[in-house]
Amino acid sequence: MHACQRGQQRKYSEKYRKEAALNTSETVQTEVNANADISAAGANTDANTGPNTGANIDTNIDANTSVPSRLVIASRESRLAMWQAEHVRARLSLLYPQCSVEILGMTTRGDQILDRTLSKVGGKGLFVKELEVAMAEGRADLAVHSLKDVPMELPEGFALGAVLEREDPRDAFVSNDYASLDELPAGAVVGTSSLRRQALIAARHPHLVIKPLRGNLDTRLGKLDRGDYAAIILAAAGLKRLGMPQRIRAVLEPEHSLPAAGQGAMAIEVAARTDGVDLVALLAPLNHVPTAQAVTAERRVSKVFGGSCQVPLAAHATIVGSQMYLRAMVATPDGKRVASAEVHGPATDAAQLGDQVAEKLREQDAVAILASCLAEADGSGA
């Protein structure tokens, strides 16, 4: 990358960081206090419902837990990513005022490759690899991600240390000229970066033309405003976090557009350490137990089927009282073959519920559907 471009990126990164600080400072204290009550209530959550596999999350911080003097958060440099990193930085600073929390802005391959769909250039891992390298090299201590961008399998030595309370998990219909998908005329162009959204739209609105849409949130909105698309489909959470709910013309209810696994949730990834600092314990007050339970079930479904950007797969869980309701779907990109299933049970059995709904999908030939998707992806990428 040219030196001028790097300097410009640093300028944008600092601009986004300042905006994020302004947007999060007024709400963080309230969220920390509220989450403390939730964390205490879920202190006995087992590994089956927590975000990090293989270790229990104790949401009560031990008085002897070592707090480092400095923590560095690795983050992508988009405006939304910086908002998320600043949100975590502000919450950690309130929890541990003796610790200096900094943000290391980085550009990932996923940010650089904009002329091809993710399914053809490596999938979700493109957004996290560089951040993991920074942690492995000791340049960062943790990384903040949109959970739906995190691969189902993390590299050895890495784990999800906390999952924050979920924002709106639904998809959002964004258009300057139309109020909903139903209003779009035949042949109207709809932009989306997701095979899942493509399949769901194609199944219900076969008269529309669906085209790829890449770039960060501001880039995608800019393409819409230039007239490249009649409408675009985005995650409602990102628009709300950046203070742009007015851009949402309609939210797509899960009955019509089932969200991706982890959509609307933020996760904090950590790497194994040898200095005695227990990052999972330090992050425990940020971990939102109901969200962690829901995304554990959702990601389990995706993991069973090798979830990637090449697979149109949706999984969404809600919790009512102590019960979890989990729905999942797989489809071909053209929406002509669809399998869907729903299960419910104790929220503490999140992983088992994920396995159950996956089995129901198998009974509807989901494996064959996904195999055809992968074959098509391989053929188009040849």
Question: What is the set of active-site residues?
Answer: 149
CA atoms within 13 A on the CB side of 144: 30
Distance CA 351, CA 358 (A): 11
Distances in Å between the Cα of 130 and the Cα atoms of 74, 77, 267, 359 are 9, 12, 16, 35
* 199 and 312 Cβ atoms separated by less than 8 Å: yes
- Which strand ranges, in their side-by-side order, compose the sheet holding 250-252? 209-212, 189-192, 231-235, 171-174, 250-252
Q: Is 236 exposed, middle or buried (0-12, 13-18, 19+ CB in 10 A)?
A: buried
Distance CA 288, CA 48 (A): 14
Distances in Å between the Cα of 262 and the Cα atoms of 34, 211, 282, 318 are 22, 24, 22, 12
DSSP-based three-state secondary structure for 285:
helix
Distance CA 72, CA 100 (A): 8
* 335 and 203 Cβ atoms separated by less than 8 Å: yes
Distances in Å between the Cα of 158 and the Cα atoms of 155, 212, 286 are 6, 32, 18
